[in-house]
Amino acid sequence: LLVHGARQVVQVVANGQQVLKGAAMRQLAEVTAGPAGGVSIVVNSNGRIADIGLDSVVTSKYGGATFDRTINARGMCVLPGLVDGHTHPVWAGDRVHEFAMKLAGATYMEVHEAGGGINFTVRHTREASEEELYTSLCARLNTMIKSGTTLVECKSGYGLNVETELKMLRVIERARRDMPIDISATFCGAHSVPEGATAAQATDDVIDVQLPAVGRLMDSGQLRVDNIDVFCERGVFDVAQTQRILAAGAAVGLAANFHGEELSRLGSAEMGATLGARAISHLEEVSDDGVAAMARQGTIAVVLPTTAYVLGLRPPPVRAMIAADVAVALGSDFNPNAHCVSMPLVMNLACVLLKMCMQEALAAATINAAASLGRADTQGSLEVGKYGDLVLIEADSWEHLIYQMGGHENLIKYTVKEGVVI
Ligand code: NIG
Ligand code: FE
């Protein structure tokens, strides 16, 4: 693929760094067109970036070459494919009625404790056929692609028993093989305590029944699973239970990447950092000590502004995290509580609600989200040798991807995955 004539290519990083912290989140690498012509990107037949430079320089290097496809990007800006670090995209049964309850004043935990919330979705997801879940997942992934996402983390977690958790992971696996978007799969059998069980029983079931079944399918090559997740929260799984589950997941090769400090401050950030967790999501309630522990261990903070927005929570302390050199990443948290697949909208919310600047939001939605999934060696920035995963927008400057709230069908002209328009 040859893209030429672009106004601007935002590389995010250009020096092989695999995560951005502190002031580096505001100093993104970019190549801007000169008066004589635009900027080009060449993606080779293996889907890797071969070159980025001014049209004149690239044309003289590749003068005689032929390309499968050439895109004239006059009037466009090119950004790295967006990375969504946290989603729950496999479920049946919407919760629009709970949205109304929350607007009328019910809290997330009140709905949850009344048997709604996650357990409502669990009942519907257990009943749904694998085909139905697959079809709705693909439709959701297609909307993400149209919004510029090229790598997305996808969790199980609406089964809470071995049959349905495996059904969800098979659905994710099938989409991973069929769909032109990259997926990082997460086993989240500890997303909630199933009805009729205690948290202690659910912890044992995840460790002794569900995880070994997942491990067997991983060993036989039927499933690729990357991460393990737990909803560590008062009234769900406590810190000690979370730690046991994450350690059991690590023993079968899964990276710890879990929900912590969302509605109450339990010290799960400190626990996660000590355990060497790759990432912790939410963190609305994290303490200064938790932030310091994450900084020391290099644990990435995946912040989810849709949750704070939809539930009216206090936003996570992103300014303190960045000041302490914690790498901040972004995710949509797409789920029946926060029904948002759009990373451009998530970046806008991150700027307005979490007080990030646009450069920080873009770094968080690209290289740092890729790092939270262990994929920053191949994704998250536009550098020679990395995947040719691109978003092309028709605008005077790249910031329009964040500034424009919705209407993206007129803004995002192409999403490209490994050199192929998807
Ligand atoms: O990240 N907090 C736990 N999990 C989800 C919500 C899932 C649900 O409500 O269905 C979250 O916000
Ligand atoms: Fe979540």
Cβ–ligand 1 distance for 260 under 6 Å, the answer no
422 within 8 A of 82, measured Cβ to Cβ:
no
Atom of ligand 1 lying closest to residue 117 CA? 9
Tell me, yes or no, whether 76 and 88 share the same domain.
no
**Three-state DSSP string of 18-87:** CCCCHHHHHCCEEEECECCECEEEEECCCCEEEEEEEHHHHHHHHCCCCCCCEEECCCEEEEECEEECCE
Per DSSP, 210 falls in state I
Cβ–ligand 1 distance for 333 under 6 Å, the answer yes
Q: For residue 37, what pLDDT is reported?
A: 87
Cβ–ligand 1 distance for 118 under 6 Å, the answer yes
Indicate which residue's Cα is closest to atom 3 of ligand 1.
231
Tell me, yes or no, whether 248 and 147 share the same domain.
yes
Q: Residue 36 pLDDT > 80, yes or no?
A: no
pTM of the model: 0.98
Q: What share of the chain is helix, strand, coil (3-state, %, to 5)?
A: 40, 25, 40
Integer Cα distance of 285 and 260 in angstroms: 9
Cα separation values, 248 from 205, 215, 254, 395, Å: 12, 11, 9, 48
User: 3-state DSSP call for residue 144?
Assistant: helix
Which ligand approaches the C-alpha of residue 99 most closely?
1
Cβ–ligand 1 distance for 194 under 6 Å, the answer no
Q: What ipTM is given for this predicted complex?
A: 0.96
Q: Please write the tens of the pLDDT for every residue from 270-314.
A: 999 999 999 999 999 999 999 999 999 999 999 999 999 999 999
Cβ–ligand 1 distance for 336 under 6 Å, the answer yes
Tell me, yes or no, whether 153 and 57 share the same domain.
no
Ligand 2 center from residue 354 Cα (angstroms): 18
Ligand 1 center from residue 337 Cα (angstroms): 7
Cβ–ligand 1 distance for 158 under 6 Å, the answer no
Integer Cα distance of 104 and 50 in angstroms: 54
- Residue 9's domain comprises 2-81+382-421
- How sure is the predictor about 144, in pLDDT bands with cuts at 50, 70 and 90? very high
Mean pLDDT (the chain, rounded): 97
Tell me, yes or no, whether 326 and 390 share the same domain.
no
Ligand 2 center from residue 335 Cα (angstroms): 7
Number of H helices, E strands in the chain: 17, 18
292 within 8 A of 323, measured Cβ to Cβ:
no
Tell me, yes or no, whether 186 and 270 share the same domain.
yes
User: Could you identify the residue written with the tokens 């008062």?
Assistant: 234
Give me the CATH number covering residue 275: 3.20.20.140
Which residues, by Cβ under 5 Å, contact ligand 2, an ion? 333
Cβ–ligand 1 distance for 307 under 6 Å, the answer yes
Atom of ligand 1 lying closest to residue 231 CA? 3
Burial (CB count <10 Å: 0-12, 13-18, 19+), residue 327: buried
Classify residue 377: in a domain, yes or no: no
Q: For residue 113, what pLDDT is reported?
A: 87
How many residues are recorded in the chain? 422
Cα separation values, 417 from 177, 244, 390, 394, Å: 14, 37, 7, 18
133 within 8 A of 167, measured Cβ to Cβ:
yes
Tell me, yes or no, whether 389 and 335 share the same domain.
no
Cα separation values, 46 from 18, 43, 124, 294, Å: 21, 8, 41, 37
Tell me, yes or no, whether 63 and 87 share the same domain.
no
Tell me, yes or no, whether 64 and 86 share the same domain.
no
Q: Please write the tens of the pLDDT for every residue from 299-357.
A: 999 999 999 999 999 999 999 999 999 999 999 999 999 999 999 999 999 999 999 99
155 within 8 A of 188, measured Cβ to Cβ:
yes
Ligand 2 center from residue 9 Cα (angstroms): 32
Cβ–ligand 1 distance for 153 under 6 Å, the answer no
Classify residue 284: in a domain, yes or no: yes
- CA proximity to 317, closest of 356, 280, 372, 276: 356
Cβ–ligand 1 distance for 88 under 6 Å, the answer yes
Tell me, yes or no, whether 13 and 86 share the same domain.
no
Q: Please write the tens of the pLDDT for every residue from 214-225.
A: 999 999 999 999
Tell me, yes or no, whether 216 and 364 share the same domain.
yes
Classify residue 332: in a domain, yes or no: yes
Q: Residue 194 pLDDT > 80, yes or no?
A: yes
Q: How far apart are the first and last CA of the chain?
A: 13
- Cβ-Cβ contacts under 8 Å for 4 (sequence gap 6 or more): 38, 39, 40, 55, 58, 59, 70, 71, 72, 73
| 32, 38, 39, 40 alpha-carbon torsion, rounded to 10° | 170
CA 348 to chain centre: 15
Q: Please write the tens of the pLDDT for every residue from 73-126.
A: 999 999 999 999 999 999 999 999 999 999 999 999 999 888 899 999 999 999
Q: Please write the tens of the pLDDT for every residue from 153-190.
A: 999 999 999 999 999 999 999 999 999 999 999 999 99
Q: What are phi and psi of 367, to 5 degrees?
A: -65, -40
Classify residue 76: in a domain, yes or no: yes
Integer Cα distance of 292 and 321 in angstroms: 8
243 within 8 A of 271, measured Cβ to Cβ:
yes
Integer Cα distance of 141 and 73 in angstroms: 25
Tell me, yes or no, whether 46 and 160 share the same domain.
no
Tell me, yes or no, whether 402 and 340 share the same domain.
no
Ligand 1 center from residue 31 Cα (angstroms): 39
Residue ranges in 185-334 assigned as alpha helix (H): 199-205, 211-219, 239-251, 268-275, 288-297, 305-311, 318-323
Give me the CATH number covering residue 395: 2.30.40.10
Residue ranges in 324-383 assigned as alpha helix (H): 343-354, 358-364, 367-372
Cβ–ligand 1 distance for 87 under 6 Å, the answer no
Total domains present in the chain: 2
The total of other beta-carbon atoms located within 10 Å of residue 213's CB is: 17
Q: What are phi and psi of 82, to 5 degrees?
A: -80, 150
